[in-house]
Amino acid sequence: MRRVAVNLLKEGDILANSVKSSSGSILLAKGTRITENIKNKLPHLGIAFVYIEDKNLPYLSIHEIISEDNLNEAIKTVKKGSLKNIIIDGVQRHTRENLSLDRLNFIVNNIIDELMENNLILASFAELKLLDNYTYQHSINVCIYSLIIGHTLKFTRTQLFQLGLGALLHDIGKTKIPISIINKPGILSQDEFEKVTAHTILGFEIMKTAGKLPLLSAHVALQHHERLKSSGYPRKLKGDAIHPFGYIVGIADMFDALTAEKPYRPRFSIKDTIEILQSSSGNLFPQEYIEKFLQTIIIYPLGYKVKLNSGEVGVVIGQGQNPLTPIIKVLERDSYQILDLGEYPELFIEEVIYE
């Protein structure tokens, strides 16, 4: 089986796993054949990805990172939409460390409850989605990566809650900036650049005036573009003057932003993104946080279909020593050859195939 984004499903694809609603009831049973009607309904149910059968992988069972039991447990705790599921699922898929599901649920529940119960913040977050879906999706990813780094650094539940909430809302100030400037292709004028950089201060103010939100979460919005040697903005802080949450969300932000296509540049490959992050160590960010992130992150979760520099296509079936070198099953070779990319320095993953 392999994982497919619902918009890339084809008529006739067969579900390899059942699809469940946020309340845990089965919407589509394993073995269901995808029709145009089903394909169109899935996004409205908050389902972004499903697992389908793949005839090229008949004898291979890919274990999901989340067991069915864990998934059911997570689903039971979700009461307000799919956002909790997406964050919990994302953290579990992308981290090598064992994170107790109870602890993760507790933290993510608190983050989403805080979001849902604060009308002003919820309205701003909804506005962000409406104005700029990329930034909305990006905010969720930044929350996922930040929680992973914070967990690796052994933060307490309270710290993870403050960090995760700040990460989810780090770009909320962009709702106050014209979308034409945020998505402008080409170089920004000085005036436009100043407007963009102001999203940090605006975000801080939105969160501070929203009432009852942790001040540290608001500082994440203010500090996520500050850099170790004062090359960041808006206050050109440096070193210890920048809170660890500011650095962590900065790293998560950079990682996710570089791997996305922007109006003014194509996406960077994961390999180049990791190299850029490594070169930023001790320069833009403290070495410790970059190291922790790269040690813990799973970049290619199980079931991802990837293309190698040799032109061959494979599916990720295990994690290797290095986030860039997972164990893959090559689809086009005879005898279902399995490669640990860590043992083949000449081979690397060129891109993830979303189809």
Shortest distance (Å) from residue 347 CB to Fe ion: 35
Shortest distance (Å) from residue 197 CB to Fe ion: 9
CB burial of 81-98 (b: ≥16 within 10 Å; e: otherwise) equals eebbbbbbbbbbbbbeee
Shortest distance (Å) from residue 252 CB to Fe ion: 11
Q: Name the residue nearer to Fe ion (CB basis): 65 or 242.
A: 242
Shortest distance (Å) from residue 335 CB to Fe ion: 48
CB burial of 218-227 (b: ≥16 within 10 Å; e: otherwise) equals bbbbbbbbbb
Q: Which residue is nearest to Fe ion (CB)?
A: 171
Q: What are phi and psi of 158, to 5 degrees?
A: -65, -45
Q: Name the residue nearer to Fe ion (CB basis): 89 or 171.
A: 171
Residue type, 6: V
In the chain, what is the straight-line distance between the N-terminal and C-terminal CA atoms, in Å? 13
Q: 52 with 32: CB under 8 angstroms?
A: no
Q: Name the residue nearer to Fe ion (CB basis): 54 or 132.
A: 132
Shortest distance (Å) from residue 96 CB to Fe ion: 27
Q: Name the residue nearer to Fe ion (CB basis): 13 or 171.
A: 171
Q: Name the residue nearer to Fe ion (CB basis): 132 or 171.
A: 171
Shortest distance (Å) from residue 225 CB to Fe ion: 6
Shortest distance (Å) from residue 196 CB to Fe ion: 9
* Tally of helices (H runs) and strands (E runs) in the chain: 14, 9
Q: Name the residue nearer to Fe ion (CB basis): 254 or 339.
A: 254
DSSP 83-121: HHHHHHHHHHHHBSS---HHHHHHHHHHHHHHHHH-HHH
Residue type, 60: L
CA–CA distances in Å: residue 186 to residues 177, 182, 189, 193, 258: 17, 11, 10, 12, 16
Residue ranges binding Fe ion (CB under 5 A)? 171
Q: What are phi and psi of 327, to 5 degrees?
A: -95, 130
Residues written for the chain: 355
Residues paired with 50 in a beta bridge = 4
